[in-house]
Amino acid sequence: MPKTETRQARATEDTANGQPSATETRTKPEGVTDFVEVEEAKAEYNKRRKTQIELIKKTDKELLRSMLYEMVLGRVFEEKSAEVYRMGKIGGFCHLYIGQEAIAVGSMLALEPDDMVITSYRDHVQAMVKGIAPESVMAELYGKIGGCVKGKGGSMHMFSAEHNFFGGHGIVGGQIGVGTGMAYAAKYKDGKRVTLCFFGEAAVNQGIFHESLNMAALWKLPIIYICENNQYGMGTSLARAMSLSDISKKACAYEMASEFVDGMDVLAVREATLRAVERARKDYLPTLLEIRTYRFMGHSMSDPGNYRTRAEIEKYQERDPIKLFSATLLEEKVADQKTLDETDRKVHEEVEDSLRFAEESPLPDPKELYTDVYANPIEPGRK
Ligand SMILES: Cc1ncc(C[n+]2csc(CCOP(=O)(O)OP(=O)(O)O)c2C)c(N)n1
Ligand SMILES: [Mg+2]
């Protein structure tokens, strides 16, 4: 839960960094570096165990195993991307999703294929969960013609109209307005499709968030706003940047339904999304989900990460969503160790294949510079 003391403690740090502080000086409690206590989250998770077991019993076992597969695929894919990035094979910005996988998987596996998704630049895993093949995402990272946008988008701009995946957006909060427009179009045209719009917690401070939520509630749009609260916007912690850090509460300003969800619990994410999907599909009502998570890596590949401690990262790694879910599946006998090893083996094979594909895919021909840019293409060389 939000802790005012912590916010003030952060302000104290600001002063130490030479930045202005709006609050009085206060000693930072030992070991408290964020606004959500891991111990508290663990206790909440344990309280949910009974419900979780019931959920596991009523959910298709195959679906549960594919949820695990998708999370592991996301993790291994990105670990490999980081490796080849460091070798200089991928250029430009590259933001990893490691630690946040339960959000993409829990929410998107609750959708129908026709439902639409839009997100920020931290998009590789979401693109794959929506159905874009790993080789197509890897080739895009490489800037090759086999990429899902023919190598012209790169890491931040995965896109596939065929898979109803509408980006990959670099402007913080930009996708919230576009996503709201998509939901408007869906309702106007047929009313059946739901839009899932992901963004980070730093985007909530942008005007577009508030304008969009107001319109979505007023016009009853079938949209689910998913705030992936990983507690940092680049090197700035949420506690230092937001006056009301309980993000799910902001929905009440627009009379919108909202929930606060543990993003390390893939089943909790799925259940909350299912409730929101029903609200959207049946009654055209929007929902704001604040899903609490943590990114295990830096903001991007070029982040030295000196704004947080190793101890803080390790504390959250204890609640690694993949470890938690694997343990639950083992306990409930949905999977045995052999299944987990086999998942790991298959995932590594799939990631290696994607890498081979990306390596072998040619670079785009220079004439591709002129394709898919304007609705009415300009002729090359025209003055
Ligand atoms: C309008 C705008 N302002 C600033 C930036 C620079 N910027 C890129 S990412 C980022 C932080 C966003 O954090 P958050 O929304 O929490 O998403 P996360 O990176 O944590 O997933 C900022 C400030 C930008 N891309 N767009
Ligand atoms: Mg963030």
For residue 112, the model assigns a pLDDT of: 97
User: Who has greater pLDDT, 54 or 155?
Assistant: 155
For residue 383, the model assigns a pLDDT of: 62
For residue 45, the model assigns a pLDDT of: 84
pLDDT in tens, 15-57: 333 333 333 232 333 433 344 677 888 888 888 888 888 889 9
User: Who has greater pLDDT, 9 or 41?
Assistant: 41
Mean of pLDDT over the chain:
89
Would you say residue 10 has pLDDT above 60? no
Could you give the percent of the chain with pLDDT greater than 90? 77
For residues 333-361, average pLDDT: 97
Would you say residue 8 has pLDDT above 50? no
Which atom of ligand 1 sits closest to the CA of residue 172?
26
- Helices 321-331, 101-108: axis angle to 10 degrees equals 60
Domains plus CATH for the chain? 36-362 (3.40.50.970)
pLDDT band of residue 375 (cuts 50, 70, 90) is: confident
For residues 276-303, average pLDDT: 96
Q: Which ligand is nearest to the CA of 100?
A: 1
Ligand 1 centroid to Cα of residue 229, in Å, is 12
For residue 380, the model assigns a pLDDT of: 67
pLDDT band of residue 213 (cuts 50, 70, 90) is: very high
Q: Is 26 exposed, middle or buried (0-12, 13-18, 19+ CB in 10 A)?
A: middle
Q: Which ligand is nearest to the CA of 96?
A: 1
Would you say residue 290 has pLDDT above 70? yes
Do 131 and 113 contact (CB within 8 A), yes or no?
A: yes
Do 130 and 108 contact (CB within 8 A), yes or no?
A: yes
Which atom of ligand 1 sits closest to the CA of residue 174?
1
Q: Which two tokens stand for residue 366?
A: 């220079």
Ligand 2 centroid to Cα of residue 362, in Å, is 35
Do 183 and 222 contact (CB within 8 A), yes or no?
A: yes
pLDDT in tens, 245-257: 889 999 999 999 9
Measured CA distances, 131 to 102, 128, 332, 347 (Å): 16, 5, 28, 15
Would you say residue 184 has pLDDT above 80? yes
Q: Which amino acid residue places its CA nearest to atom 4 of ligand 1?
A: 172
Ligand 1 centroid to Cα of residue 200, in Å, is 8
Do 294 and 16 contact (CB within 8 A), yes or no?
A: no
Q: Which amino acid residue places its CA nearest to atom 7 of ligand 1?
A: 172
pLDDT band of residue 382 (cuts 50, 70, 90) is: low
Helix, strand or coil, per DSSP, at residue 196: strand
Would you say residue 11 has pLDDT above 70? no
* Residues framing ligand 1 (Cβ under 6 A): 120, 122, 170-172, 200-203, 230, 232-234, 299
For residues 80-103, average pLDDT: 97
